[in-house]
Amino acid sequence: MAHLLPQEFIRLKRDAQTLPLEEIKHFVQGIADDRISDAQIGAFTMAVYLNGMSREEVVALTTATRDSGHVMQWDSLNLPGPVVDKHSTGGVGDLVSLVLGPWVAACGAFVPMISGRGLGHTGGTLDKLESIPGYDPYPAPERFGQIVQSTGVAIIGQTGNLAPADKRIYGVRDITATVESIPLITASILGKKLASGLDALVMDVKVGSGAFMPTPQKSRELAESIANVATQAGTPTTALLTDMSQPLAPCAGNAVEIVETLSLLRGERPQSRVMQVTRELAVEMLLAGKLAQSRDDALAKLEKALTSGAAAEVFARMVAELGGPKDFMERSEHYLPKANVVQPVYADNAGVVSRIDTRAVGMSVVELGGGRLRNDAKVDHSVGFSAIAEIGDRVDADTPLAFVHAANEDAARRAAEQLKAAINLGQSPVEADTLIQDTFRGEA
């Protein structure tokens, strides 16, 4: 059949018309094949930004993005369990993936987790894992499959041939002020995730001062969009709306978050905020993958995997399989980089933590060298904050706001001032926002 010229396709959306679904597929394939120019991509994304898309159009854009490159197939491996994954809109102190992947794998799931690097104020799962000497997040595709099969989980970086259309669209959105469009965000996230050949997906959408979306209402819209679009595209998906009005774990950085991950996998602090979110996501993954009959059944399986040491063992095996030390779990202190300067940060006056500008905490880690403002920037894995006070905690001359890990005294002093400016203190007791604010189950 004859297809619309790109300019005619763009004109339809410019005039707020509904796009024919076959034409969406053709246009996206043209992006992957370089038949469509950056100027045309920019015109299309602006038209979508201004006029939106129907649910059917977003499903078509998502599946076309997914199918624009290699889509993983797991059937040939005859895996004895479901292939499931999780994605987060990112945050500060959000080390959920590092605990969740091994934990769910220890319960019989297979988790091919393709993660990103940090950009802006949010930390990247790959940067955290690269604190571990030798860890290689870019194995050959066959090796990736073997590790998922033998270990149950592999956390790696995006390879070139997964959803290549998204790479181009995303790059253009970034420079044409069209990033904040829910249809485009939905198709971008899911195009990449669904190319992993999943049986089910769980999504963690953040809300609060460290969230990617600017308002709670926008976070809610995104959660609902992702759950429904992915489910209609053939991958049953649940989205949780979770609080990011303070760092999720009491630390932010790379090596410091790996230290916390190991503590959590050993079963320490099972009721911490980060573990509560991780546990809820894990329950949804076990239910979606039909590895548990009920919520109580899922909780019992997860408890056993944690207390028996099985989850920690899976993490250790994954690290070794991807080139890290074989004795990392036992001797992590020997391997992880340590900052030159580690010192407490005290508030100027005693008080109760009433509010945290989470984004500012994340940006302070970036300024210390622990994150990046450009894709090609080098990261210092040793820097960050640990033992960060939580909302409702009392701080005084004996109880610091946090410990800063920095390359030198000057950087430590600057970061300490930034942290103090990011944390508001009051005198009355304060309750933190509800941690898990809503659950959206996709409708087919």
Which tens digit of pLDDT belongs to each residue from 339-375? 999 999 999 999 999 999 999 999 999 999 998 767 6
Q: What one-character-per-residue DSSP string does 294-352 give?
A: SHHHHHHHHHHHHHTSHHHHHHHHHHHHTTS-TTHHHHHHHHS---SEEEEE--SS-EE
Q: Are 236 and 200 in contact (CB under 8 A)?
A: yes
Q: Among 156-160, 241-245, 306-310, where is mean pLDDT lowest?
A: 156-160
- Arithmetic mean of pLDDT, 106-111: 98
Task: Select which of 13, 25, 66, 192 is catalytic.
Answer: 192
Q: Are 121 and 364 in contact (CB under 8 A)?
A: no
Q: Are 42 and 169 in contact (CB under 8 A)?
A: no
Task: Select which of 66, 167, 193, 405 is catalytic.
Answer: 193
- pLDDT of residue 153 exceeding 70, the answer is yes
Q: How far apart are the first and last CA of the chain?
A: 29
Q: What is the pLDDT of residue 207?
A: 95
Q: What is the chain's mean pLDDT, rounded? A: 95
Task: Select which of 167, 173, 206, 279 is catalytic.
Answer: 173
Q: What is the pLDDT of residue 255?
A: 98
The predicted-structure confidence for 272-316, as pLDDT tens digits, reads as follows 999 999 999 999 999 999 999 999 999 999 999 999 999 999 999
Q: How far lies 68's CA from each of 13, 112, 394, 404, 430, in Å?
A: 21, 19, 52, 44, 49
Rounded Cα distance, 65 and 184, in Å: 11
- pLDDT of residue 12 exceeding 90, the answer is yes
Rounded Cα distance, 164 and 64, in Å: 11
Q: What is the pLDDT of residue 159?
A: 74
Q: What is the pLDDT of residue 201?
A: 98
Rounded Cα distance, 362 and 123, in Å: 8
Long-range contact pairs involving 406-413 (C-beta distance under 8 Å, separation at least 24) = 406/339, 406/340, 406/341, 406/342, 406/368, 407/339, 407/340, 407/341, 407/368, 407/369, 407/380, 407/382, 407/383, 408/340, 408/341, 409/341, 411/341, 411/367, 411/368, 411/369, 411/383, 412/341, 412/343
| Token representation of residue 37 | 């120019």
- pLDDT of residue 160 exceeding 80, the answer is no
The predicted-structure confidence for 316-343, as pLDDT tens digits, reads as follows 999 999 999 999 999 999 999 999 999 9
Task: Select which of 85, 127, 166, 243 is catalytic.
Answer: 85
- pLDDT of residue 245 exceeding 80, the answer is yes
Task: Select which of 13, 25, 26, 86 is catalytic.
Answer: 86
Q: What is the pLDDT of residue 299?
A: 98
Q: Are 81 and 292 in contact (CB under 8 A)?
A: no
Q: Are 176 and 210 in contact (CB under 8 A)?
A: no
- pLDDT of residue 104 exceeding 90, the answer is yes
For the question of residue 193 being annotated catalytic, the response is yes
278-314 in b/e form (b: 16+ CB < 10 A) is bbbbbbbbbbbbebbeeeeebbebbeebbeeebbbbb
Q: What is the pLDDT of residue 119?
A: 64
Rounded Cα distance, 237 and 218, in Å: 19
Task: Select which of 88, 131, 151, 237 is catalytic.
Answer: 88
Q: What is the pLDDT of residue 375?
A: 67
The predicted-structure confidence for 110-132, as pLDDT tens digits, reads as follows 999 988 877 667 778 999 999 99
Rounded Cα distance, 97 and 99, in Å: 5
Task: Select which of 45, 115, 122, 125 is catalytic.
Answer: 125
Tokens 């194995």: give the residue.
Answer: 139
- pLDDT of residue 444 exceeding 90, the answer is no
- Sign for the CA dihedral angle at 54, 57, 59, 65 comes to negative
For the question of residue 173 being annotated catalytic, the response is yes
Task: Select which of 13, 25, 26, 87 is catalytic.
Answer: 87
The predicted-structure confidence for 370-422, as pLDDT tens digits, reads as follows 987 676 778 999 999 999 999 999 999 999 999 999 999 999 999 999 999 99
Confidence class of residue 434 from pLDDT cuts 50, 70 and 90? very high
Q: What is the pLDDT of residue 388?
A: 98
Q: What is the pLDDT of residue 117?
A: 77
Q: Which domains does the chain show, CATH number per domain? A: 75-161+194-331 (3.40.1030.10), 341-426 (3.90.1170.30)
Using the 8-state DSSP alphabet, how is residue 197 labeled?
-
For the question of residue 181 being annotated catalytic, the response is no
Task: Select which of 45, 68, 115, 188 is catalytic.
Answer: 188
For the question of residue 420 being annotated catalytic, the response is no
Q: What is the pLDDT of residue 356?
A: 97
Q: Are 50 and 182 in contact (CB under 8 A)?
A: no
For the question of residue 88 being annotated catalytic, the response is yes
For the question of residue 85 being annotated catalytic, the response is yes
Q: pLDDT exceeding 90 applies to what percent of the chain?
A: 90
Q: Count the alpha carbons within 13 Å of 104 in the hemisphere toward its beta carbon.
A: 38
Tokens 């290549």: give the residue.
Answer: 164
